[in-house]
Amino acid sequence: MKKFVIIAISVLVVGFGAFFAVRFYYPFGEGVKTGELNYVVYKGVMFKTYEGKLIQSGFRTTAASGIASNEFEFSIRDAALADSLMRLGGSVVELHYREYFGALPWRGYSKFIVDRVLSVTPSRVAPSSVPPVVY
């Protein structure tokens, strides 16, 4: 009976570890989003992370009350990438991201993690000193 309990506990621990690894560390999707970069901020109480928001063209309805803009909220793990995005507010950017099943507090508030910038086009609203850049 003691051997059965040890095996059962071991199977449960390994099963929980596998579930946790797949849920939070295995990216199940990746893609590209394009839109106007609204903001990138460095925030957090215990874990400071870089968070951003991209406003995509078009509208969607999220509630019965009306129409809202199509927003893409994301996290950034790389400080250098976040710093370069902080300087591109208002520009149209094309971001490559990985999607996870869940968010971790030390990785960011979002399950979408941006890992690189594919292209940047300065804002058409206000002239910018940032030239168009293709990465």
What pLDDT does 42 receive?
94
Is the separation of the CB atoms in 108 and 51 below 8 Å? yes
The number of beta carbons lying within 10 Å of the beta carbon of residue 11 is 10
How many other C-beta atoms can be found within 10 angstroms of the C-beta atom of residue 110?
Answer: 20
Encoded amino acid at 88, one letter: L
pLDDT the model gives residue 131:
62
Q: Which residues pair with 57 in a beta bridge?
A: none
The model's pTM is 0.73
- Which residues lie closer than 8 Å to 18 by C-beta, 6 or more apart? none
Cα(67)–Cα(31) distance, rounded to whole angstroms? Answer: 25
* Residue located via tokens 């086009």: 121
Rounded CA-CA distance 65/46 in Å is: 35
Residue-wise pLDDT tens digits, 63-121 = 666 666 689 999 999 999 999 999 988 899 999 999 998 888 888 889 999 999 999 98
Domains and CATH numbers, the chain: 28-134 (2.40.50)
Q: Return d(Cα 86, Cα 111) in angstroms, integer.
A: 20
